[in-house]
Amino acid sequence: MNYQWYPGHMTKAKRMMQENIKLVDLIIELVDARIPLSSRNPDIDRLGANKSRIVLLNKSDLADPAANKRWINYFGDRGAYVLEINAKSGAGIKSVAGLVQEACREKLERDRKRGIVNRPVRAMVVGIPNVGKSTFINSFAGKACAKTGNKPGVTKGKQWIRLNRALELLDTPGILWPKFEDQAVGMRLAFIGSMNDEIIILDELACDLITVLMEKYPNALCERYGIELREKAVESLADIAESRKCYTRGETLDMEKAAAIILDDFRTGRLGRITLEEP
Ligand code: G4P
């Protein structure tokens, strides 16, 4: 199958991102902990070259805990400040504010030497669609904080969310686009549901996922569906269809229905905590 990303508004998104990056001290980049490389765009390293960086491994609840640790080391070794979080439940969110201060320590020190005190750090959240940017902003900023900016007479001002005296967050996240020209990347994005399922042939996608799981997490499918793994992914898919009683009219197995079940089970964590990429 040909995995294609939707290149819709990418030029516009990139231009906006470039403009907004100029306004901030710090970039908070969200990646999906299950595919930390495929769910980021390497251009952000160039776009944000002179800015402090925090990388948040989001959806860490769905990823392999041991792999999360390895990825924390990976990004840390490359100069970022890293945390694993679950934006949905709020786990790990409390530690972000402290990390912001750490990541911006040099800037704050420079300010202090120049006699600038109490100037808040300005940060923006970036990431590919569906990685959890809005959920994170809501969870991090909470309801208690005030919005600043857009004062009367100032048109088109940016909206900043004031988290505390030390930190302001741009209220609209920057949307990055993944490296959609790479088929392997496209496939992993499709697995996690970050590609439009309408353009995807479900049973082929499920077979690709089964193939990957057979290699990396062979027990996941056996335990969930009570099957033995077969040589070919499509045979395993048929076994799963049978064990889940997926039939079209008559006795024919409904492979598409079985595919939808596997993909949903994977995306919601029912197949276990699974990471599909290693550093
Ligand atoms: P975006 O702004 O980057 O596009 O992403 P958004 O916050 O809309 O989140 C996309 C989906 O990911 C949402 O699910 C959200 O609940 C889920 N999500 C975000 N962070 C986490 C996390 O840390 N763990 C888990 N398990 N899920 C997370 P949805 O199905 O679109 O909405 P909902 O049914 O959860 O409300």
Query: Is the separation of the CB atoms in 230 and 223 below 8 Å?
Result: no
Q: Where are the domains of the chain?
A: 9-171, 201-268
**Is the CB of 174 inside a 6 Å radius of any atom of ligand 1?**
no
CATH of domain 201-268: 1.10.1580.10
Measured from the CA of 128, which atom of ligand 1 is nearest? 3
Spans of the chain below 50 pLDDT: 144, 149-155
pLDDT of residue 153: 42
pLDDT of residue 228: 94
Q: Return d(Cα 128, Cα 130) in angstroms, integer.
A: 6
pLDDT of residue 121: 93
Query: How many Å lie between the centroid of ligand 1 and the Cα of residue 61?
Result: 12
pLDDT of residue 39: 95
**Is the CB of 88 inside a 6 Å radius of any atom of ligand 1?**
yes
pLDDT of residue 78: 93
**Is the CB of 92 inside a 6 Å radius of any atom of ligand 1?**
no
CATH tag for 9-171 (out of 1.10.1200.10, 3.40.50.300, 3.40.190.290, 3.40.190.10): 3.40.50.300
pLDDT digits (tens, 9 = 90+) for 151-164: 444 445 578 999 88
Q: Return d(Cα 18, Cα 134) in angstroms, integer.
A: 20
Query: Is the separation of the CB atoms in 84 and 60 below 8 Å?
Result: yes
pLDDT of residue 254: 96
pLDDT of residue 155: 42
Question: 9-171 and 201-268 share one CATH topology?
Answer: no
pLDDT digits (tens, 9 = 90+) for 36-67: 999 998 888 888 988 999 999 999 999 999 99
pLDDT of residue 199: 76
Contacts of 162 (CB under 8 A, 6+ apart): 120, 145, 146, 147, 148, 168
**Is the CB of 61 inside a 6 Å radius of any atom of ligand 1?**
yes
**Is the CB of 133 inside a 6 Å radius of any atom of ligand 1?**
yes
pLDDT of residue 203: 94
Query: Is the separation of the CB atoms in 51 and 25 below 8 Å?
Result: yes
pLDDT of residue 53: 96
Measured from the CA of 268, which atom of ligand 1 is nearest? 26
